[in-house]
Amino acid sequence: MMIISSHTAPARSLVAVILLSLLLQISELPSSCSASSSLENFSARDGTVLELDESNLDKAIASFDYILVDFYAPWCGHCKRLLPELNAAAPVLAGFKEPVVIAKVDADKYNRVTSKYDIDAFPTIKLFMHGVPVEYKGPRKADLLIRFMKKLTAPDVSTLDSDIAITEYYETAGTHFPIFFGFGLDESVLANIARKYKKKAWFSVAKDFSEDIMISYDFDKVPALVAIQPSYNEKNIFYGPFEENFLEDFVKQNFLPLTVPINSDTLNLLKDDDRKIVLTIMEDETDDESQKLVKVLKAAASANRDLVFAYVGVKQFEDFAESFGSAEKTELPKMVVWDGNEEYFIVTDSEIIHGEDQGTQITKFLEGYREGRTIQKKINDRSFTGYIKSLSIGGKIAYILILLVIIMMIVHNFCMDNEPLRVGTRDQANQGISSSSEHERRDYRPEDKED
């Protein structure tokens, strides 16, 4: 540490220089000629990632029907890992019938962009469809991103006219999203639902199909709406009524499998579901006893579609499980009802699910919950809400915090005559910033911005 007397002019000059330097880093507006020039010569079919700035971002959004914009910061490790995926996806997306342009903007540098598009963490990806922005919450690996974008640029409802078309549609859809097949349904029946939930699922209607398809998809009469969860090998059949409110309830309930394993991806899905979550906490979700319990939970879920059934293993997701009071001495498996936010409920005398006759115990638990025999509790600090709130702070916020410290140093310098002002060396400051960056990376949660 260097010691500088509070009465010396160099101390005040040093602080002023540091303050001015940081202010310039926050507010500097560098030239954007090269980016503007690249936009003028750019075609949606180029297949490269377009570099934009605040002078031409709006023009690019207006120029392309589909543009996926990566708002990044040069210092962000997650951003650096994302860029190769975008580079790999760009040429494929450019070859779509409706080409998708990938662009990137240094949102840490261009403050007005950050403010205008509400960028609060890096990387943030926004998809602009015909100029309308939505936050991109799909996969970020190149192959999965390509499939996701293919769905978004496809028709809201695809019409299939043969067994081969049905099979090809299923294979093209992949496993990342649920698939809805309307067998014997008119496209207009699904149109509004498909438009509303296009980002969450595939929708199609099949006009011509064989009896083999009926056997394969487990329905025995038409019209029928078949919901498929490819990742979980689950099918659910809806035979009507096909009024929009009943139809929407069925679709919403089938965005998730009957029992949801808790992980970073499914937590994001649960945020969009307003049903209460019956959460079963077990020691290890992969062992034989736990898998038997999951089968029982599926049966309960089929009969209680107004609730979401989920499970988590302490071994797989210890921090999350402990948010609900599952410490080492807690008997497992146990059940709680979670509101998806900061509160959960235990059912009096029915919390622990013992080894025998688990079906009856689960029934007793659900009856107790519906009858209100519950105790309300708050989740611990290491909770889902904590994960969501643990977004890494942006560079500008870090600068602001440093500025506040420097302002306090200036006040100290002028007001405390007898106290020397301690100013760290440049190496020490760099070490502090590096440590802060490491802390941000540790706090960064995959469910926030990273797959």
Alpha helical stretches, state H, 323-425: 358-370, 384-389, 395-415
Residue 394 in contact with residue 108, Cβ under 8 Å? Answer: yes
Q: Can you tell me which residue has the tokens 């602001």? A: 400
Residue 283 in contact with residue 315, Cβ under 8 Å? Answer: yes
Instruction: Assign 3-class secondary structure to 371-387.
Output: CCCEEEEECCCCCHHHH
What is the CB neighbour count within 10 angstroms for residue 401?
A: 12
Helix axes 163-173, 142-153, angle to 10 degrees: 130
Active-site option among 44, 68, 76, 308: 76
H or E segment at 279? strand 277-282
76 in active site? yes
Q: For the purposes of burial, counting CB atoms within 10 Å of the CB of 124, is it exposed (0-12), middle (13-18) or buried (19 or more)?
A: buried
Sheet containing strand 234-238, strands side by side: 158-160, 202-206, 179-183, 224-229, 234-238
Question: DSSP string spanning 198-232?
Answer: TTT-EEEEESS--HHHHHHTT--SSSEEEEEETTT
CA 91 remoteness from chain centre: 25
Q: Tell me the CA distances in angstroms from 67 to 27, 257, 313, one per residue in order.
A: 27, 31, 39
Active-site option among 11, 35, 52, 79: 79
> Distance between CA atoms of 17 and 96, rounded to whole angstroms?
52
What is the maximum span of the chain, computed from C-alpha positions, in angstroms? 92
Any bridge partners for residue 138, and if so which?
none
Active centre residues (catalytic): 76, 79
